[in-house]
Structures are given as structure tokens and as C-alpha cells.
Amino acid sequence: MAGRTVGRMDDDGRYEQRVVWAVVDTGIGPLLLAATREGLVNVVFHATDEVRDKALSRLASRLGSEPVEEPGSPLLAEAIRQFEAYFAGERHLFELPLDWSLISGFNREVLRELATTVPFGTVVGYGDLAGRVGQPGAAQAVGMAMGANPLPVVVPCHRVVESGGGIGGFGGGLETKRRLLALEGVLPEPLF
């Protein structure tokens, strides 16, 4: 229904935050996707039962609402479709509303810059990205921002590499980073 607000009213007459989630199987393993009315709020790598349960507990604590498994939710349906198309090699750009509430300050600024200026099939150095947000010399802080990214893949922290040609670190693990960069044509596909 158009204009319908999702959720229940709290004791003060405000609508509670509604958080829905689903696990999607991908070429890099299961990903947990979580969304609010604002948009996609969290993507979690390696969403085994234990990882998923910890992530959902953190989300409940941070957002003040118990996440509900609802893969058919309109809040998630488009995100799931776009992730499937991305991993099938049919989509190069995510066009999803994002809920940035899990990150703020410098980290949010860096991640927004990354999301809007580093397209599919390209990479940027940590130092270069620091310079783009007016903080030359803050390469290490950019690395910390990448590690704090609540929306990996959509906000493509896998595209940030060392200036000397090294792959750099990655919260989802280096093999996951290599596979994402190979999917985007930056690295060759592994032989085995």
C-alpha cells in the first residue's frame, strides 16, 4: 500500500524501526542482507548460523528493534534481485536506497565518496581516497573506515587497494576480496 508506514507505534506514538533480513547465497558464500524503511542497512559476509546470529544481535542493539527474517519483504526484494544480478555478472551498479545509520563522521564521508566515485572494474588506493575527502596522509584512517563498512559489496570497499600494487586487507577475507575483484575484471579469475 502506498504511504503505509511499516512497524508498530511505541508508547510515545512514534513508529518503531522495522528491520528485516534474509540470507542470500552468492558466488562468495552466504551474505546476510538487512534493511530498514530507509534502505539497505547491513551486508554481512560468511553468514553461517553463528555469524548471522551475532550480526542480528548487533543490529537489534544498534537499531533498537529485533530484526525479522522476511526474504519476501519489499524492503529486501530489490536488494536480493540486484545482488543476484551482480554475482551473475549482469549488473555493474547497485541502485538501492541505503540506510547510513550504522556509520558516521569520517568513516561515512569516506564510504560515501567511495560509493559515488569508484565504479565497477576500477580500484583506488587508500591514500588516494584519503586525498579525495580532503585528508591527504590519512590512508590508515581510510583503511579503518573500510573495515567498519556496514554495506560491503554495495559500498565497494573491495575496490580499495594499496598504492604499491598490493591487494590490502579486507573484512570478508582476502580470498573474498580477490574473488570480487576477479568478478569485476580487475584480477584474473583463479585457475582453481
Q: Which residues are catalytic?
A: 157
Tell whether the torsion through CA atoms of 52, 57, 34 and 187 is positive or negative. negative
Nearest to 30 by CA among 108, 91, 67, 83: 83
Q: How many CB atoms lie within 10 A of CB 70?
A: 16
Beta strand residue intervals within the chain, DSSP E: 20-26, 29-36, 39-44, 68-69, 124-125, 160-161
Chain Cα centroid distance, residue 2: 27
